[in-house]
Amino acid sequence: MRVLATVFVALIVALQYPMWLGKGGWLMVRDLDRKLAVRQADNAKLMARNEALEADVRDLKTGFEAIEERARSELGMIRGDEVFFQLQAPGSRTAPAALPTPGK
């Protein structure tokens, strides 16, 4: 009777092993689910970034305002009919650059 019980226990363990630790077992499925969730989160971030870039490209292709805004903010450009004033913060006194004197 003891031998029969040992055989049954060994048979149960042999049947349970692939389900828990084998290829396609519960542990591997849980690990793959975790990896899938990480990849889906990364894909969602990248899709949001791509949509923002697509909107930016669409604006640059269709509208003059987007080009003008980018030139003003990134390149510091102004229109020909505008006057540019640069104000210094109070307390930030800088000495004017010395002008070269002619003949020296």
Per-residue pLDDT reduced to its tens digit, 68-87? 888 888 888 888 888 877 78
Of 70 and 50, which is predicted with more confidence? Answer: 50
Q: Which two tokens stand for residue 1?
A: 């009777």
**Per-residue confidence at 25, pLDDT binned at 50, 70, 90?**
confident
pLDDT for 49 beyond 90? yes
**Per-residue confidence at 33, pLDDT binned at 50, 70, 90?**
very high
Contact 92, 85 (CB under 8 A): no
Handedness of CA 57, 60, 65, 67 (dihedral sign): positive
Note the pTM of the prediction, 2 decimals.
0.49
What pLDDT, on the 0 to 100 scale, is given for residue 26? Answer: 81
> For the chain, how are helix, strand and coil distributed in percent, rounded to 5?
65, 0, 35
